[in-house]
Structure 1
Amino acid sequence: METFATRGYQKASLAEIATRAGLTQAGVLHHFPSKAGLLTGVLDLRDETDISELGTERPRGLAFLRHLVETARRNTEREGIVRLYAVLAAESVTEGHPAHDYFEGRYRGLRAILVDALEEARGQGELSADLDARTCASIIIAVMDGLQVQWLLEPGSVDMAAATQSTIERLIGRALPESPRPGSADQS
């Protein structure tokens, strides 16, 4: 993860990855059939980590938007994962990049989840009927990704959680619910 994050996919070598993992190159290839397979494994691990933090079910409606703010806050504690995501997402737009399909699917999936959450909130009467959920979802994703790049370049200059919350609240025209306290009965 660290090698891909600091060097990018093209410049990361299997030899360096093997050395950092305490394996031989053949040992790495035993577990992953290729460098592209290793990259996919790293990206899958990142997703599994994020999904496990959600628990058994994703928060609904505005609670999911609050979850995004909390994700931005948690990301300040995992610079390597944030760097990996930012580097590989940008690289994936190049021709033939092995993570292209992954990121295309990831953005499609994120937009769909956000649209669902916004429509759930609208169905509960928490949002205006004329809110364009698809555009709003794209803007939220773009802001969060852009904030990550700014934070990586100059960490002290950006409060990702506060900027994410401010953007979401301005887009939806209302304050987000407070974060549930750990151990409270309502954590959805």
Structure 2
Amino acid sequence: MAARTDLRKVRGDKRRTRILSTAVEVFGEQGYRGTSLREIARRVGISDAGLLHHFGSKVGLLAATIAERDEMDRVRREASEAAGVGFVDTMRDQVARNAQSPGLVALHVVLSAEATDPQHPAHESFRERYRQIRHQDDASFSRLQDSGEMRRDLDPRRVGQLVTAMMDGLQLQWLLDPDAVDMVGLFEDFLHLLEIPAPGHGVHERRDRAMTSESHHEHHVPAPGEPTVPELEEDESVAPRPEEEIADILRAEPDVADHSGSAP
């Protein structure tokens, strides 16, 4: 009897997993309001009553779908931390996974847009999700700054919010035209603008190498016959580099508390 009960539970769990994966696909294609439980049940190959047996209602299925996605993110994040993978590399991995998961990306983009309506059943869920992201990113970028891997003249709180906005915008563009948008490469370019380096290369190390290179050029005496590079005349009208412009946007405001050492 116990064996029969266990087998029934295993089958139920497998069916529940199939329903959730199908719901991710359909919600991503049609949004919450455009999705019918009948369509999800049809794709899974079960009756409407069978679907309702597992989740009770359309709102219940949506809540379970969002919870499943968040649980997957949490497990991956904790596994990365346990393996000693840094925060920035975890973000890199997430972007790379997203590039292989158009269904999950579509689910997030469509539902987050719909959930801006206060009457949407996922409205509070998405508000809370972004609150948690802001809190986690503030702490993580503060630690990154304290370790010398991010410039100290930037406000970690604002950096975190800008990174989230950039990732959400990239996902939308990628869904619309995946062949024209290199989501992984553009994310790496954005980190470079913030002077957040590749793994193992802190800001101080990179600046030391740059200073060494500049010192070499300053003191280099050309050999006889070696062509020389003329010094550039100072031009105050030269436009700022992109990284300088973005730094101005993110630079900590006078009334913003210093985050140095504030990471838990």
With the length of structure 2 as denominator, give the TM-score of the two structures.
0.62
What is the match of residue 116 of structure 1? 139
Displacement after TM superposition at 1:134 (Å): 1.1
* Residue aligning to 2:230: none
Is residue 123 of structure 2 the alignment partner of residue 97 of structure 1? no
Q: Give, in whole Å, the separation in 1 of the partners of 2:196 and 2:123.
A: 36
1:177 and 2:199 matched: yes
Residue 183 (structure 1) aligns with: none
Distance in 1 separating the partners of 2:187 and 2:101: 17
* Corresponding position of 2:51: 28
Aligned pair count reads 177
State which of 67, 71, 77 in structure 2 corresponds to 1:48. Answer: 71
Letter in 2 for 1:18: A
CA distance in 1, matches of 2:48, 2:74: 30
Q: In structure 2, what residue type is equivalent to 1:177?
A: P
Output the CA distance in 2 between the equivalents of 1:174 and 1:36.
Answer: 40
The residue identity in structure 1 corresponding to 2:197 is: A
Gaps of 5+ in 1: 179-188
Task: For residue 147 of structure 1, give the secondary structure of its aligned residue in structure 2.
Answer: helix
> Unmatched 5+ residue regions in structure 2?
1-23, 201-264
SS at match of 1:42: helix
Higher relative contact order, structure no. (Cα contacts within 8 Å, ≥ 6 residues apart): 1
Distance of 2:62 and 2:138 partners within structure 1: 29
The higher radius of gyration belongs to: 2
* Structure 1 residues 59 and 92: alpha-carbon distance in aligned structure 2, compared to 1, 3 A threshold: farther
Q: Distance in 1 between matches of 2:116 and 2:82?
A: 31
Identical pairs, percent: 38
Between the aligned partners of 2:191 and 2:80, the Cα distance in structure 1 is: 22
Aligned residues: CA RMSD:
2.1
TM-score, normalised to structure 1's length? 0.86
CA distance in 2, matches of 1:28, 1:105: 28
